[in-house]
Amino acid sequence: MNAITMRHLRYFEALAQHGHFGRAAEACAISQPALSLQMKELEEILGAGLIERGARQIRLTRLGEEFAQRTREILRAVDELGALARATSGPLSGRLRLGVIPTVAPYVLPAVIQHLAASFPLLDLRPREAVTQRLLDDLTEGKLDAAIMALPASGSALTEYPLLEEEFVLVRPVADRDKPVPKPEHLREMRLLLLEEGHCFREQALSFCRLSSAVPRDLMEGSTLSTLVQMVGAGIGVTLIPQMAVGIEARSAPVSVAQLPQPRPTRRIGMVWRRTNPLAEQLGVIAGHLQGAIARAAGQG
């Protein structure tokens, strides 16, 4: 009888994640027939079905769902064995999978890449941009080594290293630049443009304006800060953006930027990683190196 291999597990994990043979095959850099063959072989080894095959997508059987959970645990443990070896091998080297939230990535990621390349030339940086919950899930499942996001992060299993604290600013059409800056309660009466659900910055903006998540239907949303600023430039409404975004976004549209009244809303940005990660000590060193580089990129150097 054939044995289950790491290849079987990695391919099955990709299929469980994507729920589609084509997308899973693309993620694994193999052909769809080859992936299908590997999954059939895995089911034959187990003597039970893991997958319900549909016309457009797949579903996991009850056994498949349990098998997927155990598979993720095994793959994380295997990855941590490699990290353990790297942690004792001398200078920081090898793959570093770093997640960054979308309201930070465009403004500091180039500086992060440049700084790490100069400080740790043996590191193979693999950056990934995603919303907070996705990054937290990937950290938990061992798909990321660390992530840069707004603090506090959820979960006591994570180590948090503060990197930066910054204010939010108000972005209005350029014609409004001489008008008094509205108070938070008045922003609720204006057409406030927000990021889509899933972005932590959206919740922070709602909190400052004392709005619940059940926002009015006529409130307009965008997928990026750049989209929101362009909408403001077109006269559609007003928005809030973090200070680090001003240098790039305020130049791209006819808008004015104003500081909000005290107490101004702020956010803390930090780097987080699993406490159990064998690279925890090295990740702390990396975070310390990045602190100054990120502050400079955000205009606070």
Answer yes or no: is pLDDT of 300 > 80.
no
CA distances from 16 to 61, 63, 102, 133 (A): 11, 12, 25, 18
pLDDT for 156 equals 76
Answer yes or no: is pLDDT of 206 > 80.
no
Q: Cis peptide leading into 121, omega within 30 of 0?
A: no
Alpha-carbon Rg for the chain in angstroms: 23
93 CB-contact burial (10 Å; exposed 0-12 / middle 13-18 / buried 19+) = middle
Query: Bigger pLDDT: 203 or 15?
Result: 15
Total residues belonging to the chain: 301
**Dihedral sign computed on CA atoms, order 239, 242, 243, 248:** negative
pLDDT for 284 equals 92
Confidence of residue 91 (pLDDT cuts 50, 70, 90): low
Confidence of residue 265 (pLDDT cuts 50, 70, 90): confident
pLDDT for 17 equals 86
How much is the average pLDDT of 256-282? 89
Confidence of residue 86 (pLDDT cuts 50, 70, 90): low
Residues 6 or more apart whose Cβ sits within 8 Å of residue 94: 82, 86, 122, 123, 124
**Angle formed by the axes of helices 6-18 and 21-28, nearest 10°:** 130
Answer yes or no: is pLDDT of 150 > 90.
yes
CA atoms within 13 A of residue 224's CA, in its CB half-sphere: 13
Q: Residue ranges of the domains in the chain?
A: 6-84, 91-301
pLDDT for 78 equals 80
Supply the pTM of this predicted model.
0.75
Q: What is the DSSP string of the chain?
A: -PPP-HHHHHHHHHHHHHSSHHHHHHHHTS-HHHHHHHHHHHHHHHTS--EEE-SS-EEE-HHHHHHHHHHHHHHHHHHHHHHHHHHTSSSS-EEEEEEE-TTTHHHHHHHHHHHHHHH-TTEEEEEEE--HHHHHHHHHTTS-SEEEEEESPS-TTEEEEEEEEEEEEEEEEGGGTTSPPPPHHHHTTS-EEEEPTT-HHHHHHHHHTT--SS--TT--EESSHHHHHHHHHTTS-EEEEEGGGHHHHTTSSSEEEEEPPSSPPEEEEEEEEETT-TTHHHHHHHHHHHHHHHHHHTT--
Answer yes or no: is pLDDT of 214 > 60.
no
- CATH architecture assigned to 6-84: Orthogonal Bundle (1.10)
Topology of the domain covering 91-301? D-Maltodextrin-Binding Protein; domain 2 (3.40.190)
How far apart are the C-alpha atoms of 132 and 148, rounded to whole Å? 9
How much is the average pLDDT of 231-238? 90
How far apart are the C-alpha atoms of 120 and 125, rounded to whole Å? 10
